Chains A and B, each alone.
Chain A
Amino acid sequence: MLSLCWKNIWRNKTRSLVIIFAIVFGVIGGVGFSAFYNGMIYQRLDAAIGNEVSNIQIHNPHFLENKEINDTIANMASILPILQNNKQIKAFSYRIKTFSMVNSANSSNGLLLLGIDAEKEKKVTGIYQYVKQGHYLDSCKKNSILIGQKLAEKLKIKLRSKVVVTLQSSSGNIASAAFKVAGIYNTGNTSFDERMAYVKYDDLAEIVGFNPGMAHEIAITVTDNKLTDTVTDKLKTKLAGYSVKSWKEIMPELGLMTDSGQYMLLIYMTIIFLALSFGIINTMLMAVLDRIREIGMLMAIGMNKLRVFIMITLETILLMFTGSFIGLILSYILVEILKKTGIDLTAFASGMADMGFSAIVYPFIEPNAYIQIVVLVIITGILSSIIPARKALRLNPSEAIRTQ
């Protein structure tokens, strides 16, 4: 039966090839777009986790609401051993985090100033990898500052320029300190580069008046991003009274985007196959109408309705499967190539960077997405064959045999 169906498909080569090519391009379009979307979202996610939020953060519960300078994490000494003893935690770093005003000779700008332990932070976030001029904070003198390129441009300052940072101290007074630009980084995310600056923990602690070990935030990196929820839950249990949040809770929009990425492919492919199904129905209807006499003969000599239905359905599925198989192979090759070369969107880089996305997107797709497409192909094939099969089943053999 399968052999007969396969041969039947190629009775009208042009008609079958047209629909097969439509399926091939549909699959490439769907897979390609999904891979691009995935690449864009996961790169944004990697950047957000890798450069900014890390996997998990611990705060004083009031800090996230009020951002008050004195809402530090209480009893740090009891928390750190819990983190050190958890084997699923790769590294952690504590930070002083304060909103400040930075002034240069020419301009001023608001920013989020992070006081970090440079060595520890290196294990949690990858900002040191983006230093384009000067040095990261681990090899710098006292009162050095690491700023983003966008901020440097805005303040019209260069490496080794001096800036004055004004912030609120723990006593409630306004404090100021001069910093020398030790390094300029560029993550490609202009909004991040404009609003984030880093200084050494000890320098900032001294300015705001914190005792050693006082911090607003502990950033944690886990051994595998998939463990984020598990570790978060464990820490929530052990650290009742503290705010323990995963990156999904801290940046829910990113969580939503990554979750939706899984369904995007199915949604795209469903829409594409729905559109293609009309073409397939038309092709198969033509195939049935071309073979009325033959189908009448088959019914006369003893082919029952179930077999007629199976024959038409198999032909439809084979047609779809052929197109989808070619489409999937070409999509796989395309995605594998683009995964290495990336898609250069430099022309739109400014807009992309403003939204926090990289200018070069490296598409990728989960292997199980291909299985989902095959299942979708079979479902669409069966559904598309119903109308042509119904047409065939309604034939009266005695009349069909006499059809010219």
Chain B
Amino acid sequence: MKIIEITNLTKVYSENGNEVVAVNNVNLDFEQGEFTAVVGPSGSGKTTFLNMVGGIDNPTEGQILVDKVNICSLKSSELIDFRMNNIGFVFQAYNLIPVLTAKENVEFIMFLQNKPKAERAKRSAELLNAVGLSDRMNSRPSKLSGGQQQRVAVARALASRPKFILADEPTANLDSKSAETLLDIMEKLNREENITFIFSTHDPRVVNKARRVITLVDGQVAKDERNN
């Protein structure tokens, strides 16, 4: 089942009076349950592509259908709600709220969704357990390692029950062991829960785990390979 359909996606930036084409006429579809890595050299448009798919950047041309909804035509306020309910984000720098505990960080998006307190507590405990952090629920990010923080970020991304998760270079700041652990957790969630993951990455470990690898060069799809 297709959950993302991208047609003629183009993003043109104006930089010092010059037009820079970051993403150039990309056409792609993503099926439910895919584990996809978007790779390419620096400046190839990976992050811009992911930002547009995630609805936090607007394309210059083209459209993105998420579950048949054209997110490019949504109003700003509608898009925020859409992101909250349909898309999970994992950022390179973890971006946890430092004054909240791991559990509170995971609960926060459910608070934004106005979920009842009991439901928030139950789901956050389940998710932190799933990422192997049931014993660190009440720790603040400053007391967690980079790998643990990124696992909390994955739990947070899953908390809103999104249709897919976008992860922008999730292993870039992690050591090998932490990166392996994180990838294993995400792969397990993908296989067992059928959660769709789309990564932008330089990391060969992520590429090796991915079942689909899309290579962007100069904002265009150079390769789209599937490894089953």
Contact = CB atoms under 8 A, between A and B. Distances in A.
Contacts of A11: 98-99
Given A7-B99, A294-B97, A305-B77, A300 B56 contact: yes
A302 interface: yes
A161 interface: no
A307 B109 CA distance: 12
A294 B95 contact: yes
B80 A303 contact: yes
Q: Is the interface of A mostly helix, strand, loop or mixed?
A: helix
A305 B100 CA distance: 21
Contacts of B80: 299, 302-305
A214 B123 CA distance: 93
Interface in A186-228: none
B30 interface: no
B100 A7 contact: yes
B56 A398 contact: yes
Interface in A296-342: 297-305, 307
B57 A398 contact: yes
A4 B99 contact: yes
A372 B160 CA distance: 43
A97 interface: no
B76 to A, nearest CB: 8
A59 interface: no
A303 B97 CA distance: 13
A291 to B, nearest CB: 9
B52 to A, nearest CB: 9
A303 B111 CA distance: 10
Interface in A324-372: none
Nearest to A304: B80
Interface in B69-91: 76-77, 80-81, 83-85, 89, 91
Contact of A304 (B54, B81, B85): B81
A297 B51 CA distance: 12
A8 B54 CA distance: 27
Given A300-B89, A302-B80, A302-B112, A397 B56 contact: yes
A294 B156 CA distance: 14
Given A7-B100, A294-B97, A398-B57, A301 B51 contact: no
A7 B109 CA distance: 17
A401 to B, nearest CB: 6
Interface in A261-300: 293-294, 297-300
B137 interface: no
A303 B85 CA distance: 11
Interface residues of A, number: 22
Contacts of A401: 56, 91, 95
Nearest to B54: A300
Contacts of B89: 297, 300-301
Contacts of A1: 111
B135 to A, nearest CB: 23
B93 interface: yes
B72 to A, nearest CB: 14
Contacts of B108: 4
A297 B95 contact: yes
A7 B104 CA distance: 12
Contacts of A301: 83-84, 89, 109, 112, 156, 160
Contacts of A7: 99-100
User: Which of A1, A298, A300, A301 has the most C-beta atoms of chain B within 10 angstroms of its own C-beta?
Assistant: A301
A390 B111 CA distance: 23
A118 to B, nearest CB: 74
User: Which of B56, B83, B95, B112 has the most C-beta atoms of chain A within 10 angstroms of its own C-beta?
Assistant: B56
A307 B112 contact: yes
Nearest to A5: B99
User: Which of A8, A293, A397 has the most C-beta atoms of chain B within 10 angstroms of its own C-beta?
Assistant: A397
Interface in B23-54: 47, 51, 54
Closest 9 CB pairs of A and B: A302-B84, A7-B99, A297-B95, A398-B57, A398-B51, A397-B56, A398-B56, A304-B80, A300-B56
13 contacts: A4-B100, A8-B99, A297-B89, A298-B97, A300-B83, A300-B89, A301-B89, A301-B109, A302-B109, A302-B160, A303-B112, A304-B77, A402-B47
Interface of B: 47, 51, 54, 56-57, 76-77, 80-81, 83-85, 89, 91, 93, 95, 97-100, 108-109, 111-113, 156, 160
Given A301-B160, A304-B77, A402-B47, 11 more contacts: A11-B99, A293-B95, A294-B97, A297-B89, A301-B89, A302-B109, A302-B113, A302-B160, A303-B84, A304-B80, A398-B57
